[in-house]
A and B are shown apart, each in its own frame.
Chain A
Amino acid sequence: MTLPGFPEAAPLAGLVGGVLIGLAAAVMLLGLGRIAGVSGLAAKAVGLGGSGIASGGAWMFVIGLPLGALVVMLASGGIDATFASPITLAIAGLIVGIGTRLGSGCTSGHGVCGVSRLSARSIVATLTFMATGIATVAIMNSLGLEVL
C-alpha cells in the first residue's frame, strides 16, 4: 500500500507496527502497572536509575526488543536499514543518553505512553523533541551534512 505523493512511505506497515508498539505498552501498563519507557527501562537494566521495576524485568523488556526485531527480520527476509558513520552514531548516542535522562523519557515513554494519557509534561516533551529533531535534520541537510 502506498500513499499518493509519498512513494517512499509505508503507511500500512507503519500502522501495524504502531499498533504492535501500542499493544506492547498496553501489556506493560495493564499487566504490570508500569510505563513502557525504553530509556528508563534500559537505564534500570544497567543500574543507572530509571523506573522502579525490578532490574530483572527491565532486562527482559530490553532483551525482547532485539528479539522482536529478529522475528520480523526472519519472517520478512531482511530489514532495510541505513546507519550513520561510527563517529556520528557515538555523538548522537551520547546526546540521546544525556537528553533522555534529563528529560525523563524518550519517544516511547513520552511520545506513546504520555501523549496517549494526555500528560502535559509528555506532550510538551514530545513537541520539544520533535521540533529539535526536525530542526537538526533541516540544518544538517542545508549544510550538506547528510551523514547517511
Chain B
Amino acid sequence: MIRTAITSLISGTLFGAGLALGGMTDPARVRGFLDIFGDWDPTLAFVMGGAVIVMAIAWRLVPRLAEPIFAGQFHLPTKSDLTPRLIGGAALFGIGWGIAGLCPGPGIAALVIEPAAAAIFVVAMLAGMAAVRLLEGTSS
C-alpha cells in the first residue's frame, strides 16, 4: 500500500522534526523537565501542550469522517479498563525515561544526532520489548 507508506513516512518525518526542534532529542533537557524539585526546565510542557492542542482538534474531526482519508477504516484503541499491567508498565517506563532522559521516539530520532549512544538505547529497548513478547508468548 503505497499510500500507507507515504503517509507514514510524512508522519514520522514531521514527528522527528518536532522532537528535535522541541528539544526532546536532548536527554539533558528531558531530565531537566523531570527535575521539578531541582533546576526545572519547563520547555517540554510547551512541547506536550502544543502537540495535545493540535491533536485535540484532530480528534474532533474524526466523527465527521466516515473513514480515514487514505485508508478503509479507523483502527482506534477500544480498551477502557485500568489494569495493574497498564499502571505497572507505565511506572516502569517512567523510571527508564527518568534514568537516561530518553523515550522511544527521541531515542530513534537521535540515531542521526549521537548514533552510537542512541543505538545502544534503541537496541536495549527492542531487547526489552522482545523479552516481554517471549515471556508472554505471542498473544500480545
Contact = CB atoms under 8 A, between A and B. Distances in A.
B86 A27 contact: no
A129 B117 contact: no
Interface residues of A, number: 115
B124 A133 contact: no
Nearest to B81: A121
Interface residues of B, number: 120
A89 B55 contact: no
B55 A140 contact: no
Given A49-B133, A121-B79, A60 B5 contact: yes
B47 A96 contact: no
B15 A141 contact: no
Given A31-B69, A90-B121, A116-B56, A10 B23 contact: yes
A14 to B, nearest CB: 3
Interface in B28-73: 28-29, 31-32, 34-59, 61-62, 65, 67-71, 73
B108 A132 contact: no
Given A86-B117, A94-B127, A111-B48, A69 B110 contact: yes
Interface in A54-86: 54, 56-58, 60-73, 79-84, 86
Given A20-B21, A68-B13, A102-B85, 9 more contacts: A11-B46, A32-B70, A53-B8, A69-B110, A69-B113, A72-B16, A79-B25, A100-B89, A111-B48
Interface of A: 3, 6, 8-36, 38-39, 42-43, 46, 48-49, 51-54, 56-58, 60-73, 79-84, 86, 88-104, 106-108, 110-117, 119-121, 124-126, 128-138, 140-141, 147-148
Interface of B: 1, 4-29, 31-32, 34-59, 61-62, 65, 67-71, 73-77, 79-82, 85-105, 107-114, 116-118, 120-133, 138, 140
